[in-house]
Amino acid sequence: MTPNLTSERWKPSVTVAAIIERDGRYLLIEEHTPEGLRLNNPAGHLDPGESPAEGVVRETLEETTHRFMPTALVGIYLSRFQRTGREGAPDEDVTYLRFAFCGELGKAVPGLSLDTGIVRTLWLTPEEIRASASRHRSPLVLRCVEDHLAGQRYPLALIQTDPSVALGVRPG
């Protein structure tokens, strides 16, 4: 099929995720979504002016109240999400480009609360994660855990962020 040259350029939504394992359990978050309560890795959208590693540190802090130090890239994933529009809203068709990192979870930061929509954090075994697949926000939740279990790791230097990314970004 020939692409329509007059249409807008396709742009995936870039997200980052933390794959955090401790004593054989993985840290997940439970969050409100339009589909109800769902499980996810600590994850979210990359903000303007930040590198993927900076984004995963920020998202993990926002969703768990814990500091996170990425040590390796688990993988880069492309997935598509489609949802029928509700009550006159347009249908959604979003492609996500996810950078998943593993690393060390630090201590909770006193005085912080979980981000809006996050109900709680929980530590689940791989078996519990597999058994709860129908409650996952995305198929990438389990895929990232499985890749981590398989020992998939890439150096952080694989992802380079040019200093120009931060130029012109105003502190929020």
- What is the Cα–Cα distance from 168 to 48, expressed in whole angstroms? 10
Share of the chain above pLDDT 70, in %: 93
Whether the predicted model's global pTM rises above the 0.85 cut: yes
Q: Binning pLDDT at 50, 70 and 90, where does residue 172 land?
A: low
List, for residues 43-88, the tens digit of each pLDDT value.
999 999 999 999 999 999 999 999 999 999 999 999 998 878 778 7
